[in-house]
Amino acid sequence: MKAVICDHIFPDIEQEKLALACVPDLELVDANCTTKEEVMAACADADAVLNQYNYLTEEVIDSFKKCKVISTYGIGLDKIDVEAASKRGIYVCNSPDYNKCEVANHIVTMIMTLSRHLKDFDSRLRRGEYAVPYDWMKPARPTSQTVGFVGFGKIARQAAEKLNLAFGMKVLCYDPFLTAEQTAEAGGEKVELETLLRESDYVSINVSLLPSTRNLIGEKEIAMMKPSAFLVNCSRGGIVNEEALVAALKSGKLAGAGLDTFEHEPLSKDDPLCQMDNVILSPHAAWYTVDAMRELQSVTAQQAALVLTGQEPTRCVNYEEVKKYRK
């Protein structure tokens, strides 16, 4: 059998080799694909496909002649046509838990950095301005502030717990898939999106990028936020309309933002966001620690190994659909 790693950013693939060692006579190919044509050529006869950044569209998936499983490095599935894979009887697996601690910590760090105006202090000090701008900088105690989570899954809940217990912040949540009781058990108060936007001092985006969530936060939604509020996005860039966000940041209708993900990645150095002092940027790195990276590589490969040895994958997003199409 053959497993193909379409692409990856890791220093080596030792974790994949270890996880797939249980598959007899397996050929493991590190293909380093950058185009759909390269993916189609490399994976035409693959039994398993591991993918990080390439788009696996219906056209690409239909070119896979033997594939039994597609395992993606990460949580998001926006680069994979899951329905097309299901119709061909191909399991699609992800790694939903490898980075929940890291991303939660990144969210908390961004919120507290924005709260304390650390980027501005650093820039001013480097320019020789050894003074606090009392005339416009009005930081508040976290105990008097509210953080709102748009989406309240595992990552958001970890961040909420830290912000509430360590800093005393009130937590609001908008999540149509949770009841008020479930939200309360996790330490938050369930509200509608408009209420969350109007009342929060920090709004954290924590939903997956789906057709229904693309541009979920646009001009109308940003206009509902306090002019003193900050937007934090460590989820997916397409959820926030960046044109509307830039306009609000430039006009002072929004105090600032902390962004780890963007509509178009990598972010260009000429992007307006890179020119703004009230924005903290990181290169889609919220997930990263050495520990998380090793776990990501291992879990992604483990799903392929399970399928190739005749077992059921444990991180499958389309298991029931595959069973239906295989009947």
Active site residue 116: no
For residue 325, what pLDDT is reported?
Answer: 81
Per-residue pLDDT 10s for the chain (327 aa) are: 999 999 999 999 999 999 999 999 999 999 999 999 999 999 999 999 999 999 999 999 999 999 999 999 999 899 999 999 999 999 999 998 999 999 999 999 999 999 999 999 999 999 999 999 999 999 999 999 999 999 999 999 999 999 999 999 999 999 999 999 999 999 999 999 999 999 999 999 999 998 999 999 999 999 999 999 999 999 999 999 999 999 999 999 999 999 999 999 999 999 999 999 999 999 999 999 999 999 999 999 999 999 999 999 999 999 999 988 876
125 and 75 fall within a common domain:
no
In the block, residue with structure tokens 């990598």: 266
Q: Which of 75, 52, 59, 74 is nearest to 4 (CA)?
A: 52
Tokens of 218: 């646009």
- Are residues 198 and 260 located together in one domain of the fold? yes
Same domain, yes or no, for 67 and 196?
no
Is residue 78 located within the same domain as residue 91?
yes
Statement to judge: residues 263 and 132 lie in one domain:
yes
Answer yes or no: do 113 and 241 share one domain. Answer: yes
Is 126 in the active site? Answer: no
Interior/surface letters 101-114, b for 16+ CB within 10 angstroms, e for the rest = bbbbbbbbbbbbbb
Work out how many domains the chain is built from and give that number: 2
Domain hosting residue 296, numbered range: 2-97+290-326
Q: Are residues 157 and 305 in the same domain?
A: no
For the entire predicted model, the pTM comes to: 0.90
Question: Among residues 244, 262, 281, which one ends one of the domains?
Answer: 281
Considering the domain architecture, whether residues 67 and 105 belong to the same structural domain is answered as no
- For residue 92, list its beta bridge partners: 70
To which H or E segment does residue 159 belong? helix 154-167
Choose, from 124, 198, 214, 284, the residue flagged as catalytic: 284
Asked whether residue 152 falls in the same domain as residue 11, the answer is no
Catalytic residue of the set 129, 243, 265, 312: 265
Distances from the Cα of 35 to the Cα of 11, 79, 221, 267, angstroms? 21, 13, 36, 19
34 with 166, same domain: the answer is no
Domain identity same for 190 and 217: yes
236 is catalytic: yes
Which residue out of 236, 242, 315, 321 is catalytically annotated?
236
- Looking at residue 33, which CATH number applies to its domain? 3.40.50.720
Query: Counting Cβ atoms within 10 Å, is residue 38 exposed (0-12), middle (13-18) or buried (19+)?
Result: middle
**Cα 151 off chain centre by:** 12
On whether both 73 and 160 belong to a single domain, the answer is no
pLDDT at res. 326: 74
